[in-house]
Amino acid sequence: MKTLTIQEIAQATGAKILIQDDTIVKNISHVTQDSREAKENSLFVALKGENTDGHRYVTDCMKRGVGACLIEQEMTPENGC
């Protein structure tokens, strides 16, 4: 299995990476699109679906200590971050 950095994932998908601080997370051990499964060292992928928009859960995931969030829209206090 090929290993990719967060930056490579963002470049390949055209998404943006939102991290807790200026530290680059090097050890992502879990990737999920379900915010309920997001945990420390996770990469939360915020997807827009039929019933909800994963971007609504980015703030909660960040509070729970995820390593990073893969997002496709700018996050501001007005739209959830």
Instruction: Round to whole Å and give the CA distance between 51 and 29.
Output: 28
The reported pLDDT for the residue numbered 53 is: 92
Q: Which two tokens stand for residue 19?
A: 């991290």
Instruction: Round to whole Å and give the CA distance between 66 and 28.
Output: 9
User: With contact defined as beta carbons under 8 Å apart, do 78 and 36 qualify?
Assistant: no
Q: Which two tokens stand for residue 34?
A: 């379900």
Q: Which two tokens stand for residue 65?
A: 């200590």
What is the pTM assigned to this prediction?
0.74
β-bridge mates for residue 70, sequence order: 17, 45
- Share in percent of the chain as helix, strand, coil (round to 5): 30, 20, 50
Instruction: Give the tens place of pLDDT for each residue, 23-61.
Output: 555 667 788 999 999 988 788 999 988 999 999 999 899
